[in-house]
Amino acid sequence: MTDSTKCPNIIVMYADDLGFGDVGCYGATALDTPNIDRLAAEGLVFHNGYATAATCTPSRYSLLTGSYSWRNERAHILPGDAPLIIDPDTCTLPSMLKRAGYATAVVGKWHLGIGAGDQNWNAPLPGTPLDIGFDTSYIMAATNDRVPCVYLDGRNVVGLDPADPIEVEYDRNKPFPGLPTGKDNPELLKMKYHHGHDMSIVNGVSRIGYMKGGDAALWVDEEMADVFLEKALSFVEQNKNTPFFLYYAFHQPHVPRLPHPRFVGSTALGPRGDAIVEMDWCVGEMLDALDRHGLKENTIVVFSSDNGPVLNDGYCDQAVERGGNHRPAGPLRGGKYSMYDGGTRVPFILSWPGGVNPGASRALVSQVDFLASFAALTGVALGSDAGPDSANVLDALLGQTDEGRAEIVLEGIQAKTVLRQGNWVFIPPHEGPPVNTNVNIETGNSSAPQLYDLSGDIGQIENVASAHPDIADQMANRLRDIRSGQRTTPRHQEHAR
């Protein structure tokens, strides 16, 4: 490898709740995603690429730390006022790349907590992305359905009027007196909630959590894609002469789905489809910018999603009614929140003209592997406590082999885990309802052990646990060992170049 290929720029584009079947290059026909498909045509399309969990915070935690999220008991879907769950001493993807000389930035959805708890949104914030390895940060603190509905630039709320301070309250019994809520003032809503999401109203949409003040700083959902895109593009432009790492975390197609009016009606699927098309357009704008700046050849672009798809995630936005034959999880069972593959197997594309062999890959790879793999790529030696679950699968990521991980632990919700080994998936008995009826998705909970052979049964239809008790037992034991043990991949250091 020459020096310039050793430190390519790295952009991780990360969708929110995009399913395995939601884009053209993975088989979707109900909507067009020409830009993601362009990336796929020039890159490597993984068919066994995973997020570590079926919800956002845990997957993002793993992506940035190289650690399975169930190791951190705070890594579950966080409220908007939660403290930062990544210890500033932890080796993270951005802090590791900084050691290799990269400029680092996060733009978009964060959802890993801010500060130490009890934060004052009206003063410079401690515990931000700047404290775990990012040089530049322009984010929303949590999700687009959670307060506070403001952007954070570094440590500060953007556009805050000091005379109108922000207060945030997540105790649902403590609404701010006199302020409208979705529950009490449905007449003020431009999009009705279906379940949850009945608290403070911002931009005509009721959210999770109550907030007061900060009127001049409130975001407009329809402008969010353009706001984040502009920040992402300007970071690339400003850093075009130095290696850079950009974590560009889209808010689409998470609820509330409110794409810019220029994308409304671009699909027959309603706001969910239109939001995916809007995100695809953002991908295209970024790819065009790389071309324009002459950065295409020397930039790795990863595109993936934090968890599988959901149609009705709490707002009445017609995603179910207008879904038609579109299968957001493609052939997979389950979706967001699920222990079945639809929860965690996601679009996973890596492009690097000149550096990657384009095509399709069957290799088993996970977002938790970026830390060790990109450390190997850039020649950073990881300390012994860094990324305990991150495997160096660089050769698989670059298409030099179809062999990735031997096994991977996958998390549904509440740290309920599943083991995939080769083509076998083992789901231990878990208590709880078989279906999350709010969102109409199968959870994977069952009193019986489940074993599936993905080689002939990608849809996890036939439970073969009783036909193969030896395999089920072996996998149950292995999963138990991993859950109780320390680290799963002691080998990442050996591979560091």
Cβ of residue 105: shortest distance to ligand NG6, in angstroms? 21
Name the one range near Ca ion by CB under 5 A: 21-29, 53-61, 313-321, 355-363: 53-61
Please give the residue whose beta carbon sits closest to ligand NG6 in the complex: 196
Cβ of residue 263: shortest distance to ligand NG6, in angstroms? 21
Residue 180: cis peptide before it, omega within 30 degrees of 0: no
**Residue from 13, 36, 56, 64 binding Ca ion (CB under 5 A):** 56
| 307 vs 450, beta carbon nearer Ca ion | 307
Among positions 59-78, residues that touch ligand NG6 (CB under 6 A) are: 77
Among positions 21-40, residues that touch Ca ion (CB under 5 A) are: none
- What is the Rg, in whole angstroms, of the alpha carbon atoms belonging to the chain? 21
Among positions 109-128, residues that touch ligand NG6 (CB under 6 A) are: 111
Are 76 and 57 within 8 A, CB to CB? Answer: yes
Give the residue from 112, 75, 62, 69 showing the smallest Cα distance to 483: 69
Name the one range near Ca ion by CB under 5 A: 90-98, 222-230, 302-310, 454-462: 302-310
Give the residue from 435, 489, 359, 494 showing the smallest Cα distance to 62: 489
Cβ of residue 77: shortest distance to ligand NG6, in angstroms? 5
Q: Distances in Å between the alpha carbon of 377 and those of 3, 295, 366?
A: 11, 18, 16
Q: State which amino acid sits at residue 164.
A: D
Cβ of residue 81: shortest distance to ligand NG6, in angstroms? 15
| 170 vs 176, beta carbon nearer ligand NG6 | 170
Cβ of residue 91: shortest distance to ligand NG6, in angstroms? 24
Decide: is 37 part of the binding site for ligand NG6 (CB under 6 A). Answer: no
Decide: is 16 part of the binding site for Ca ion (CB under 5 A). Answer: yes
Among positions 218-277, residues that touch ligand NG6 (CB under 6 A) are: 254-255
Neighbouring C-alpha atoms within 13 Å toward the C-beta of 313: 24
Decide: is 131 part of the binding site for Ca ion (CB under 5 A). Answer: no
Contacts 24+ apart (CB under 8 A), 444-451: 444/334, 444/338, 444/339, 444/340, 444/343, 444/412, 444/416, 444/418, 445/339, 445/416, 449/476, 450/425, 450/426, 451/424, 451/425, 451/426, 451/427, 451/475
| 135 vs 306, beta carbon nearer Ca ion | 306
Count other Cβ atoms within 10 Å, centred on residue 495.
17
Give the C-alpha separation, 284 to 281, whole Å. Answer: 5
| 103 vs 332, beta carbon nearer ligand NG6 | 332
| 257 vs 492, beta carbon nearer ligand NG6 | 257
Residue the block writes with tokens 């999401």: 197
**Residue from 81, 131, 145, 389 binding ligand NG6 (CB under 6 A):** 145
Cβ of residue 140: shortest distance to ligand NG6, in angstroms? 11
Among positions 298-327, residues that touch ligand NG6 (CB under 6 A) are: 307, 313-314
Selection from Ca ion, ligand NG6, none that 314 binds (CB < 5 to 8 A by kind) is ligand NG6
Give the C-alpha separation, 277 to 105, whole Å. Answer: 24
Decide: is 307 part of the binding site for Ca ion (CB under 5 A). Answer: yes
Count other Cβ atoms within 10 Å, centred on residue 37.
19
Selection from ligand NG6, Ca ion, none that 430 binds (CB < 5 to 8 A by kind) is none
Residues 6+ apart with CB under 8 A from 325: 30
Secondary structure in 3-state letters for 333-369: CCCCCCCCHHHCECCEEEECCCCCCCEEECCCEEHHH
Cβ of residue 272: shortest distance to ligand NG6, in angstroms? 13
Give the C-alpha separation, 64 to 367, whole Å. Answer: 9
Cβ of residue 56: shortest distance to Ca ion, in angstroms? 4
Among positions 39-58, residues that touch ligand NG6 (CB under 6 A) are: 55-56
Please give the residue whose beta carbon sits closest to Ca ion in the complex: 56
**Residue from 131, 221, 306, 313 binding Ca ion (CB under 5 A):** 306
Are 8 and 102 within 8 A, CB to CB? Answer: no
Phi then psi for 191, rounded to 5 degrees?
-135, 120
Cβ of residue 367: shortest distance to ligand NG6, in angstroms? 14
Q: Is 205 helix (H, G, I), strand (E, B) or coil?
A: strand
Give the C-alpha separation, 481 to 490, whole Å. Answer: 15
Cβ of residue 23: shortest distance to ligand NG6, in angstroms? 18
Cβ of residue 205: shortest distance to ligand NG6, in angstroms? 12
Total H helices, total E strands in the chain: 10, 22
| 197 vs 492, beta carbon nearer ligand NG6 | 197
Q: How many residues bind Ca ion (CB under 5 A)?
A: 5
Decide: is 418 part of the binding site for ligand NG6 (CB under 6 A). Answer: no
Q: State the residues that interact with ligand NG6 by CB under 6 A.
A: 16-17, 55-56, 77, 111, 143, 145, 195-197, 208, 254-255, 307, 313-314
Q: State the residues that interact with Ca ion by CB under 5 A.
A: 16-17, 56, 306-307
